[in-house]
Each structure stands twice: as structure tokens, then as C-alpha cells.
Amino acid sequence: MSFTGNENHSISLTAAADLTANYRSSHLNSVLGFFYGKTAISDILAQDDCVGIRIYFGEDDLGNTQLVICGVKADEDDIVNGLLAEFGAACPPSCGTSNALNS
């Protein structure tokens, strides 16, 4: 299978809230998510042959969950020699106002 960049990843707020609630209930006191600025995401997506992103789970030296974001080509290969993103702002503490996805 190859990627086009036009795959449908839509989800309703109700379904998304159910997913995040399930995660919160089974991972008490864990990071709920990360914020990445649009420039970092746009720069990754603007790379030659990039049709989307892949997000890998990682762990820093202190045992904290981190994410690593890379671009992906249509042939499903990661763009590992291009731009990568990490150091997202963790939620908590950077969660904003409580909503269906984070509380």
C-alpha cells in the first residue's frame, strides 16, 4: 500500500473523547499529549516527497514519554535525513482550558 497524503483520519469529538478518556483512566498521572507549533509541522510537511507525518513514541533519559515526529513519503518510508521534531510542550502542565479531550 502507498500513501497519498489524502487519507481520511476524521473522528468525531465523542469518539476522540472516548479514546482520550480510556487512556487517562488507564494511565493515571501520565502525560496526556504534546503541543507542537505549526511551523515545525509545516516545515516537516514541506519537505520534498513528504505526504504526511509519522509520530513515534520515545523516552528521555528521565523515563518521561516523548514523541518524535518525522515526515513520510508515499512509499511509506520515513524521511529520516530531513527535519525531525521533538520537545513538544507536555500536557500537563500546558493543557489550556479543560475540554472533552483532556479532562
Among the listed residues 36, 51, 40, the one whose alpha carbon sits nearest the alpha carbon of residue 91: 36
pLDDT in tens, 5-51: 999 999 999 999 999 999 999 999 889 999 999 999 999 999 999 99
Residue 62: band (very low, low, confident or very high) from pLDDT cuts 50, 70, 90: very high
Domain boundaries, the chain: 30-91
Is pLDDT above 90 for 64? no
Q: State percent of the chain over pLDDT 90.
A: 91
The set of cell numbers assigned to 99 is 475540554
- The strand pairing partners of 85, in sequence order, are 69
**DSSP codes joined into one string, 47-87:** STTEEEEEEEEEE-TTS-EEEEEEEEETTS-EEEEEEEE--
- The strand pairing partners of 13, in sequence order, are none
